[in-house]
């Protein structure tokens, strides 16, 4: 069997609580959502079929032990749990970036789950079933809310507090839609509500620009 891969590259992690760290990214092809703010639509189609062995060999060619599995939506790849386990077995710190609407319970427990909760402005809002899965996240995992408006932010805060996720489970990250919400406005909303969350900017876009791929 093979996995559909758009690109594998070595760069600086631009998001999450691990922002700034050198990281190997494995970007898989295909996604079943079409979020209005998506900045990786090039990963929807036309990936290259790669075996797990080929992926592992390319990852091993880079000087870091930190790997992020991303997309697209990586959990659509049937062999993703096996690849993640093989990376863990080789001593890698493994994170997965997922939209949260595909089950992650087959992943090895060591994998760090970074779940992008779909806000109303995304156009792909999660169901109550999907949102209920957020309670299964642990303290090493992270919840990301991409904020397209003040209404998006208020919805996110209400959700976090309704599900009692604040201060008890995964780290909370609030990220402004690039070019749509001003970081200073999002900072003001976070401070006004007093929510225990981090303001996240996409570091790679600040360094290399919003349209640069492979970074």
Query: Per-residue confidence at 178, pLDDT binned at 50, 70, 90?
Result: confident
Q: How does pLDDT run across 97-125, given as a tens digit for each residue?
A: 999 899 899 999 999 999 999 999 999 98
8 Å CB contact between 19 and 44: no
Q: Going from the N-terminus, what domains does the chain have, and what CATH number goes with each? A: 3-208 (3.20.20.70)
Question: How confident is the prediction for the chain on average, in pLDDT?
Answer: 94
Tell me what pLDDT residue 215 has: 73
Tell me what pLDDT residue 184 has: 97
Q: How far apart are CA 132 and CA 122, in angstroms?
A: 19
Tell me what pLDDT residue 143 has: 95
Phi first, then psi: what are they for 132, rounded to 5°? -65, -30
Query: Per-residue confidence at 51, pLDDT binned at 50, 70, 90?
Result: very high
8 Å CB contact between 84 and 111: yes
> What percentage of the chain carries pLDDT values higher than 70?
100
Q: How does pLDDT run across 139-161, given as a tens digit for each residue?
A: 999 999 999 999 999 999 999 99
Q: How does pLDDT run across 1-20, given as a tens digit for each residue?
A: 799 999 999 999 999 999 99
> What percentage of the chain carries pLDDT values higher than 90?
82
Tell me what pLDDT residue 193 has: 97
Tell me what pLDDT residue 212 has: 77
Query: Per-residue confidence at 126, pLDDT binned at 50, 70, 90?
Result: confident
């Amino acid at each position: 069997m093979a996995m559909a891969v758009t690109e594998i590259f070595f760069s600086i992690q631009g998001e999450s609580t691990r922002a700034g760290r050198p990281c190997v990214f494995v970007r898989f092809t295909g996604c079943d959502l079409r979020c209005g703010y998506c900045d990786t639509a090039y990963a929807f189609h036309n990936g290259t079929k790669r075996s797990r062995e080929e992926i592992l060999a390319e990852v091993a060619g880079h000087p870091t032990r930190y790997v992020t599995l991303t997309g697209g939506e990586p959990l659509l790849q049937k062999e993703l749990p096996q690849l993640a386990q093989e990376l863990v077995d080789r001593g890698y710190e493994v994170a997965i970036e997922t939209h949260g609407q595909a089950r992650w319970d087959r992943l090895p427990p060591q994998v760090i789950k970074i779940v992008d909760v779909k806000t109303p402005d995304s156009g792909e809002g999660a169901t109550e079933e999907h949102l209920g899965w957020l309670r299964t996240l642990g303290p090493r995992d992270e919840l990301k809310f991409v904020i397209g408006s003040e209404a998006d932010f208020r919805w996110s805060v209400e959700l976090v507090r309704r599900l009692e996720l604040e201060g008890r489970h995964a780290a909370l990250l609030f990220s402004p839609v690039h070019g749509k919400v001003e970081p200073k406005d999002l900072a003001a909303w976070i401070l006004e509500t007093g929510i225990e969350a981090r303001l996240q900017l996409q570091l790679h876009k600040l360094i290399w620009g919003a349209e640069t791929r492979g970074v």
